[in-house]
Structure 1
Amino acid sequence: MKFRLLGLAAIVTASTFAASGAAVAAHDTNPSAKVASYSYGLTAVQAASVPGSAAEGSTRITSLPNGKVRVQVEAWGLAPGLPHAMHLHGVDGPAKDMACPGPAADADGDGYVSVSEGAPFYGGILASLTTSGPTDAGHALDLAHFATADADGHLKYSRTFTNESALANADTVQVVVHGIDVNGSGTYDLAGAGEAPLVPGSGVPFEATMPVLCGGVAN
């Protein structure tokens, strides 16, 4: 299944970033003067009452001396057999540590934290963590190029790529994993939670865009 929603990146990037203050980063000891490596835990975004939202994981972001970035993600408890959109979120520019949203970010009270409700916390999309092809924000929901969880809901991802925004902000980004099969149908469908509240009439299931895990410098 392939959903490509170019409007996703535009909406998230245009969001007003409400997070205040900068977190103090407790980074790993870097292996050399030319390699910077940052490791974080990934925790659930949605309320425990949301079916299929109980997941956990970890991530490592490494800036390499050749100007590339390596991102590794491992997660458990994800919707099995389904692709999961993943991104580096943050603010492209002067260093600013963002944060991860929790259930309280559900501003409209529909029971789910949406992409637009999470954006004020973790910022816009700096890179799409695709398995192949482009890593820009325009491929934010190109599900055919994201990692798929196995039958047990386990996902393991690693890719080294060139992305100037990711490289410049590697020490302040948040890693966000999307996709929850709310109704347990084995696919992302409109019956689970309706249409994604991004672009009315898009036909994209909310389940496919729903943030499930987040983690990074401010957490």
Structure 2
Amino acid sequence: MLKKTWGMAAGTALVAAMVLGAAGGASAAHDDNPSPKVGSYTYGLASIQPAAVPGGDASGTTRVKALPNGKLQVTVEAWGLSPNLPHAMHLHGVDGPALDQGCPGPAQAGEDGVVTVLDGVPFYGGILTSLTSTGDVTPASALALDRYATADADGYLYYQRTLSSPEGYANADTVQVIVHGIDFDGNGMYAFNADDPFASRSSSLGAGIPLEATVPVLCGGIAN
């Protein structure tokens, strides 16, 4: 049973799988930047799961600001997430001048009917930065669920953090923001439930990891 934290083995497995991303061409729109030294990019966060996936009908917005002195401010606001649970969030993409291919959608669901982590990686690339609320922001914190923002009782989540040394990002307009985690059976935890057709499944990253904890629910950014 899994609530808010993961063992190092599970986190390591996620990192190893999610850093394997495919790059492709794309283009990005951006806001009117307040000054030549600030690049500000705002995107909608859209559900990427098929309608038949319970708990996948969420929405949100995100703003990524490249600030002077190499700092990066990320804001995420989301509605309709699994309530009272932490949601792993990351900047995904390709480190360097190459751009990712945007967000996957319901059509990318496999035979299991769910868009999994590995279904999405070829579109949005690997983890560049873990959007934790405190501490480390490298891919090593991919599943440090005790340090991610938690949705409230209504499924609303707000996150903002200014990163002084963001890991692996090239520019604010070359990333996707991905929000993970769906409590399919609504029992208030990320855990296996043999009686539920979705919660009974393992993550695409390994048989010992619940699908609930790693499944991507929202995506937004370049080419979206």
Shorter chain as denominator, the TM-score bin is: over 0.9
Distance 2:132 2:167 in 1: 16
Distance 1:209 1:76 in 2: 18
TM-score, with structure 2 as normaliser? 0.91
Counterpart code for 1:46: Q
Aligned to 2:216: 211
Q: Which runs of 5+ in 2 are unaligned?
A: 194-198
SS at match of 2:177: strand
Q: Aligned pair 1:121/2:123, yes or no?
A: yes
Q: Is the 8 A contact 1:47 1:112 kept in 2?
A: yes
1:98 shift after superposition:
2.5
Q: Which runs of 5+ in 1 are unaligned?
A: none
Q: What is the aligned-residue RMSD (CA, Å)?
A: 1.3
Moved over 3 A (4+): none
Q: Aligned pair 1:23/2:30, yes or no?
A: no
Which of 2, 15, 18 is equivalent to 1:12? 18
Cα distance change on mapping 1:169 and 1:8 into 2, 3 Å: farther
SS at match of 1:116: helix
Q: Is the 8 A contact 1:182 1:193 kept in 2?
A: no
Cα distance change on mapping 1:164 and 1:141 into 2, 3 Å: closer
Q: Aligned pair 1:178/2:196, yes or no?
A: no
Aligned to 1:156: 158
Percent of residue pairs identical: 57
SS at match of 1:29: coil
SS at match of 2:203: coil
Which of 33, 37, 44 is equivalent to 1:34? 37
1:23 shift after superposition:
2.6
1:164 shift after superposition:
4.1
